[in-house]
Amino acid sequence: MRLSRTLMTANKLNKYSISGLPLASPTQLLTHKLTPDPRTPSVAAFRDEVLTTSPSLQRRARLLAADAHFSYVTPLAVPFPYDIEPPTDAPPDSPSYIEKWLAAREPRIAQAPASPNASLCKYTREVRDDAVAAELIGLAETALRDCVPHLDVGDAFALLGAPALAVGGDEESTESTQAAVAARTDLIDVLSGRAVLMSDSFAPWAVRYSGHQFGTWAGQLGDGRATSILVTPHPASPDLTYELQLKGAGRTPFSRSADGLAVLRSSVREYLCSEAMYALGIPTTRALALVSLPGVPVLRETVESACVLTRIAPSFLRIGSFEALSPPQNTFLFGGGQQAAHWDALRALGVWVAGSVLRLPETVADEDAETSAVDDKAKESHPAPWGKALVLEVARRNARMVAGWQAYGFMHGVINTDNVSLLGLTIDYGPYAFMDVFDPFHVCNHTDEEGRYAYRSQPTNILFAIRALHSALAPLIGAELTLGHAVPAGWADTASKEELATWRTRGMNELKDELEGVTQGETAAAYAELMRKRLALRRAEMTDEGALVRPLLDLMAVHKLDFHGTFRVLSAFRPGMLPAGDARESRADSAAEELDALLARLLAQAPGAVDRPQATEDLRGWLNVYARRIERETDEWAPNEAAEAMDIQRTRAARAANPRFVLRQWVLQEVIAAVEKDVVRGRRVLAKVLHMSCNPFEPWGGEDDDEAQLDVEEREERRFCGLGDSGMLGFQCSCSS
Tens digits of per-residue pLDDT, 447-503? Answer: 999 999 999 999 999 999 999 999 999 999 999 999 999 999 999 999 999 999 999
Q: What is the mean pLDDT of residues 708-737?
A: 90
Distance CA 323, CA 219 (A): 9
Chain-centre distance of CA 96, in angstroms?
A: 40
pLDDT of residue 527: 98
Residue 736: pLDDT over 80: no
Kindly state the average pLDDT of the residues 375-403: 86
Return d(Cα 681, Cα 678) in angstroms, integer.
6
Are 318 and 211 in contact, with CB atoms under 8 Å apart? yes
| Residue 166 and residue 30 in contact, taking contact as beta carbons nearer than 8 Å | no
Instruction: Compute CA distances 162 → 571, 603, 614, 655, whole Å.
Output: 32, 37, 47, 27
Question: 298 with 306: CB under 8 angstroms?
Answer: yes
**What is the layout of strands, in order, in the sheet containing 226-234?**
70-72, 205-207, 226-234, 237-247, 303-313, 286-299, 135-139
408 in Cβ contact with 434 (< 8 Å) = yes
- Distance CA(47)–CA(40), nearest Å, equals 9
Q: How many CA atoms are closer than 13 Å to the CA of 653, on its beta-carbon side?
A: 19
Q: How far apart are CA 43 and CA 294, in angstroms?
A: 32
Dihedral angle over CA of 101, 106, 108, 110, nearest 10: 130
- Going by pLDDT thresholds of 50, 70 and 90, the confidence category of residue 509 is very high
Q: What is the mean pLDDT of the chain?
A: 92
> Looking at residue 440, what is its pLDDT?
97
CA–CA gap between residue 700 and residue 702 (Å, rounded): 6
Q: CA–CA separation, 522 vs 490, rounded Å?
A: 35
pLDDT at position 377 is 45
Q: How many CB atoms lie within 10 A of CB 446?
A: 13
Beta carbons of 57 and 47 less than 8 angstroms apart = no
Q: How many other CB atoms are found less than 10 A from the CB of residue 122?
A: 23
SS (H, E, C) 481-536: HHHCCCCCCCCCCCCCHHHHHHHHHHHHHHHHHHHHHHHHHHHHHHHHHHHHHHCC
Pairing label, strands 216-220, 410-411: unpaired
Give the residue, 703 or 381, on which the prediction is more confident: 703
Q: Is 4's pLDDT higher than 50?
A: no
Higher pLDDT, 427 or 133: 427
pLDDT attached to residue 488: 97
Interval 332-381: pLDDT, tens? 666 569 999 999 999 999 999 999 999 999 775 344 444 343 444 444 57
* Prior bond of 696 cis (ω within 30°): no
Cα distance between residue 668 and residue 447, in whole Å: 19
Residue type, 98: I
> For residue 72, what are the contacts with CB-CB under 8 A and spacing of at least 6?
31, 36, 37, 40, 43, 46, 50, 58, 203, 204, 205
Q: Give yes or no for residue 169 having a pLDDT over 70.
A: no
pLDDT of residue 559: 98
**Three-state SS sequence of 644-676:** HHHHHHHHHHHHCCCCCCCCCHHHHHHHHHHHH
User: Each residue of 50-99: pLDDT tens digit?
Assistant: 999 999 999 999 999 999 999 999 999 999 999 998 888 767 667 889 99
Range with the poorest average pLDDT among 16-30, 36-50, 59-73, 636-650: 636-650
pLDDT value at position 716?
Answer: 98
C-beta atoms surrounding 165 within 10 Å:
22
Chain segment 587-637, per-residue pLDDT in tens = 567 888 999 999 999 999 999 999 999 999 999 999 999 999 999 999 998
CB 248 within 8 A of CB 225: yes
Question: Of the ranges 80-94, 212-226, 511-525, 684-698, which one carries the lowest mean pLDDT score?
Answer: 80-94
Determine contact, residues 687/138, Cβ cutoff 8 Å.
yes
Percent of the chain predicted with pLDDT > 70: 92
The answer for residues whose C-beta is within 8 angstroms of residue 283's C-beta and 6 or more apart is 277, 397, 400, 401, 404, 423, 424, 425, 426
State residue 89's pLDDT score. Answer: 77
> pTM for the complete prediction?
0.94
Parallel, antiparallel, or unpaired: how do β-strands 121-125 and 303-313 relate?
unpaired
| pLDDT at position 582 | 47
Q: Which of 400, 424, 705, 433 is nearest to 564 (CA)?
A: 433
pLDDT at 374: 40
Question: What average pLDDT does range 572-600 have in this prediction?
Answer: 79
Q: What CA–CA distance (Å, rounded) separates 637 from 537?
A: 10
The listed range with the strongest mean pLDDT (430-444, 570-584, 638-652) is: 430-444
Displacement of CA 642 from its chain's centroid (Å): 44
Q: Please report the pLDDT score of residue 255 as a whole number.
A: 97
Give residue 451's Cα distance to chain centre: 22
Asked if 126 contacts 147 with a C-beta cutoff of 8 angstroms, the reply is no
Active site residues: 418
Give me the pLDDT at residue 506, please.
98
Q: What is the pLDDT of residue 215?
A: 95
CA distance 19 to 17: 6
